[in-house]
Each structure stands twice: as C-alpha cells, then as structure tokens.
Amino acid sequence: MKNFPKHCSTSLNKSKIINAFLIILTAGFLSTSVYSVNSSDEGMRQESSGYERYILTPEPGPEPRINGPKVFGARPKSPFIYRIPCTGERPIVFSAAGLPAGMSLNGSTGIITGSVPGESKDYEIEFVAENGHGTYKRAFCLIVGDTLALTPPMGWNSWYIHYNRVTEQHMRNAADAMIESGMADAGYMYVNIDDCWMKKRGDAPYRDKDGAILPNDKFPDIKGMVDHIHSHGLRAGLYTSPGKWTCANYVGSYSREEEDARKFAKWGFDFLKYDWCSYLPRGFRKKDYARPYIKMGRLLASQERDIVYNLCQYGMKDVWEWGARTGGNSWRTTGDLGLKKGKELPGFYYIGLENAKYHEYAGPGAWNDPDYLLIGWVGDALVGMGEGKPTNLTPDEQYSYMSMWALMAAPLFFSGDMEKLDPFTLNILTNSEVIDVDQDPLGRQGHIIRHADNQLIMAKPMEDGSLSIGLFNLGEEEMRISISWKELSIDGEKTVRDLWRQKNIGAFNGKFSSIVPSHGVSLVKIY
Ligand code: GLA
C-alpha cells in the first residue's frame, strides 16, 4: 500500500451502521445460510421493468438517513457546493455543526454553498437531518488540502445512452432526474457530459476569435446548463482529449490546453475526463505517455475551482503506476466496457478481473476506474452508438456488477438513461450499505482472495475493522461457496450481514458459506 493522506480522527468516521448492527445482533446460529437471489429464469433477460420481484433491498424508511462520503477533499479558497445526500420523507430540516466560516447551509434543501477556507486542515463537521420520524447525525470530515476525490466519485455520464446525440436538454434532465429518482440522496453528485458537445470535425469554426472552444448547436448555453446542475447542489463534468480530435471525431484540446482548462473552469465545471483518442504528436516517444496528462493536471490545479481529473487512456503504459503523479484522481485501467464482448460471462466480469489486479495502487484521491455502470435502459455500443434498450444482464449479473465495483472502490458512474430509471435499476444503484462499501474512508480497493472452479472471492478491508466480502459464482449452475476464516486471516465468532438485503444473517465461527445463483453474488460484511 502506498501512503495516502490521513483524515480527521478515526472515531468520527465509524459507520452508523455498526451501531445498528449491535442493536439487532440476534442470538447467533452457526449453520450455513441459504442465500439465493435466483433470478436467472428463462426469458428474464428482456424486460428490466419486469425485474421488480428481484428487488432485494428494503426501501429506505421515512426517517432521515444521511449517506454519501464521510471524508471530502477540497482545495483552499475554491468555490464549494455540496448537497447532503439523505433519504427520508420531506420536509427534512438540515443543520451542520462546525461548518467553516464562508460556507452556509440551506436548512430545507440541505445544500451547502460558499467557499473553502484558505487554511489547509481538517474540518470536523456534523450533519444533522431531522423530520417528524426521527433525527440522524453523521460526521463529515472536510479535508482542505491538495487532494480531491478522497472517496471514489459518484455520478452519471452521458456516453452510453446519448452518444453523439447528446444535447444540453439531456444534461439538464439528467440533473433533475438525479434529484427526483433519489440517486442524489444515495450520494450520486456528478452530472457529466462525455464526448460530442464540441464542434464536429469539418464544422469549423471550432473556436472563437480568442481561441476559446465553441460548443456545437446542441449546447446553446453551457454556462446556463452548468448553473442548472449547480442549482440542485450537484456538480458538473465534461470531456475532452489531449489529441486534436476526440474519439468520436470532435474538436480536442491539442495545443489549446491552457485556453480550454480556463474556459472549463469559467463555465463552472467540476470534473474533467481526459481521453487520449488521437493524441500522437510528431516526435512522440514512448516514454512521453504521461506528458499530456501532466500538462492538463497542472492546468486544472491552477484553476480557482476543484476539478476532479479522470484519465482515460485505457490502461496504457501501466497508468496505475503514474496516474496519481499527473494529478489524476482516477484512471481507466482497461478498454471500453461497452465494447467488451464476453465469451462465457458478460464483459463486466472480465473488465473487473483486470481492474482487480491493480488494487495496491488505489487509495484516497487516486482510483482505478473499470468504467461505467451499464445497466438499466442503455445504448448498445457494439452496434455503434446504438439506441437505448433494457440491459441484457440478468438481475443476478447486475447484483454482481455493482458488488464488484463497490468492493473495488471504483468510481460509480451510471451511464444508462436517467429518464428511464426503473425500480430494479434504482435498487441496484442506491443501496446505501453497498455504497458505503465503495465510499469507505479507508479507501482500500478489495482484492481477490480466491479465483478457482468458477468461484471468485473478493475482500475489502473497511475502516471500522470489518471486511466486506463478495462470493461470486461464475458458473452456469447455482452452487455453494464457502470462505474460511483462515483464508481471511480472522478468527473467533463473527456476525455476517447480507448487504443487499440489509439484514444480519447470523453469527458464524470458522467459516461462512452461501448458496449463490449462477453469475450471482453473495455480498456480506463480516465483523
Ligand atoms: C472512448 C472512451 C469512452 C468514451 C468515448 C467517446 O472510447 O473510452 O469512454 O468517452 O471515447 O468518444
């Protein structure tokens, strides 16, 4: 493990769930559990709206529950915007103790705005949310310093549903839907436009007389769009390439990096995806792979905004070894997930297995990125920027996908249609305990404990000393998967909690085993 920045006193960050666990800890039973989703029935692949009966997670209650990161990085003096993610019946009254001077909280929306203090230090804040059903308190450590994205960024990206059809209206609608669907209450906050917002190659002029990049006709008011996203307390992201042309053949930032970084900040963007595409300038040497990323990284850091920086160059030249040194907060470790044709298993498994290899390089502010969550109503990349249709992943495969991403502390970006979210897809995306695995402040990426005989076991050490474990069945038949305490280097009696069902299974000693459906997962926390 590399050294990553420390944060406020650890006691602050203990999960509230642990308290809940202690209260409901029932008399232990030492048998093995029967844990089965069993959703792979014939004919279940077509209609995601027919998947309601496979929803495992109880709906959030009417009482408030604050979600999202417990640690959050910001640079001194940057503008700050943060909407406290919180489920529960509205109206909720929000308050925050210890909020630094210069920031203010709107008590009815839960949106904090203002500017980050000038002094680099940790600010221990306590969020409180209250309604007629209860009060919820949660510690939030604001770490003012150089590092952003102390937990994996979460949001939505336009690529896999709108491709080159994307419009400003899609982006505004996505922001509205992030609020209305409850995704923002679960912690999703970035609304990111991918490729194709700029002028297409051949549609000159590409820039105005001062060299500033011009959006295409589908984006008549970029500033207004960003303001709209911010008005919800959400953050806005965009995309460009260090090359002359983006991957879809639109205008990139080559030789205009400075103007573009300035313009992005002026528009108010909070996130940049920097996609290699056509970058290969004359005289390029192999050892120069980091160069364009260092250049943009410095430019972003010099803006008076916090712009989270996502490197996209498909894992070339072992980017996990040097991505963080360019200022990168995350880097794609593989080619496009949407283009990955799986032989025996859906593509995400192969991408996940590849991404899992680099677990030692991930940590707060620096994440391996295995690409987006392609579920729900999503466009088929394999047919060439295809129109949206329901995912062909079975419910069990979707549970596996999200579990694997959470265990790997992956950035969580949904890239299906925000305007066609169905209850099953939302159940996959917004389970607060699964998201807590991903967002754990310790920031360790889970690693593979065992991969043999169609069984895959992944473990993620959590800040509270517990382990999050995924038992994945890669085979075609339901099977029992066991994990021994020895393999996990733990001993004694432990409580095992089913994270998808948000329910304790019981107390176990020496081992835990579970019946896992084909291509499915048992995702548990052992503590
Ligand atoms: C590349 C990236 C994708 C997407 C497209 C846009 O393929 O890897 O994620 O951004 O470009 O053209």
pLDDT tens for each residue of 410-451: 999 999 999 999 999 999 999 999 999 999 999 999 999 999
Q: Whose CA is nearest to atom 1 of ligand 1?
A: 247
Cβ of 312: how many Cβ atoms within 10 Å? Answer: 23
Sheet with 190-192: list strands edge to edge. Answer: 367-369, 330-332, 308-312, 271-275, 235-240, 190-192, 154-157, 412-414
Ligand 1 centroid to Cα of residue 336, in Å, is: 7
> Could you identify the atom of ligand 1 that is nearest to the CA of residue 248?
12
pLDDT for position 16: 36
Q: Whose CA is nearest to atom 11 of ligand 1?
A: 247
Q: Whose CA is nearest to atom 6 of ligand 1?
A: 195
Ligand 1 centroid to Cα of residue 195, in Å, is: 7
Pocket test for ligand 1, best of 162, 163, 194, 415 (most atoms within 8 A of CB): 194
Q: The dihedral of CA 47, 53, 54, 56: what is its sign?
A: positive
pLDDT tens for each residue of 123-176: 999 999 999 999 999 999 999 999 999 999 999 999 999 999 999 999 999 999
Cβ of 495: how many Cβ atoms within 10 Å? Answer: 20
Which is nearest to 229 in space by CA: 177, 191, 196? 191
pLDDT tens for each residue of 91-102: 999 999 999 999
Mean pLDDT of 249-266: 98
pLDDT tens for each residue of 473-490: 999 999 999 999 999 999
Ligand 1 centroid to Cα of residue 312, in Å, is: 8
Residues 6+ apart with CB under 8 A from 453: none
* Cis, bond preceding 91 (omega within 30 deg of 0): yes
Alpha-carbon distance of 148 to 443, in angstroms, equals 13
Check if 372 has its Cβ closer than 6 Å to any atom of ligand 1.
Answer: no
Ligand 1 centroid to Cα of residue 157, in Å, is: 11
Confidence check: pLDDT of 45 > 80: no
pLDDT for position 46: 38
Check if 248 has its Cβ closer than 6 Å to any atom of ligand 1.
Answer: yes
pTM, to two decimals: 0.93
Q: How far is CA 71 from CA 99, 178, 274, 341, in A?
A: 14, 22, 25, 37
Check if 413 has its Cβ closer than 6 Å to any atom of ligand 1.
Answer: no
Ligand 1 centroid to Cα of residue 275, in Å, is: 7
Lowest-confidence segment of 5-14, 481-490, 495-504 by average pLDDT:
5-14
Alpha-carbon distance of 375 to 428, in angstroms, equals 9
Q: Whose CA is nearest to atom 5 of ligand 1?
A: 247
Q: What are phi and psi of 389, to 5 degrees?
A: -160, 165
Q: Is 50 exposed, middle or buried (0-12, 13-18, 19+ CB in 10 A)?
A: middle
Check if 337 has its Cβ closer than 6 Å to any atom of ligand 1.
Answer: no
pLDDT for position 49: 57
> Could you identify the atom of ligand 1 that is nearest to the CA of residue 247?
12
Check if 159 has its Cβ closer than 6 Å to any atom of ligand 1.
Answer: yes
| Catalytic residue list | 275, 336
In SS3 terms, 84-152 reads as CCEECCCCCEEEEECCCCCEEECCCCCEEEEECCCCCCEEEEEEEEEECCEEEEEEEEEEECCCCCCCC
Q: Which residues pair with 115 in a beta bridge?
A: 79
Ligand 1 centroid to Cα of residue 322, in Å, is: 21
Mean pLDDT of 349-356: 98
Check if 369 has its Cβ closer than 6 Å to any atom of ligand 1.
Answer: no
Check if 275 has its Cβ closer than 6 Å to any atom of ligand 1.
Answer: yes
Check if 74 has its Cβ closer than 6 Å to any atom of ligand 1.
Answer: no
Ligand 1 centroid to Cα of residue 371, in Å, is: 10
> Could you identify the atom of ligand 1 that is nearest to the CA of residue 339?
7
Check if 247 has its Cβ closer than 6 Å to any atom of ligand 1.
Answer: yes
> Could you identify the atom of ligand 1 that is nearest to the CA of residue 372?
9
Check if 306 has its Cβ closer than 6 Å to any atom of ligand 1.
Answer: no
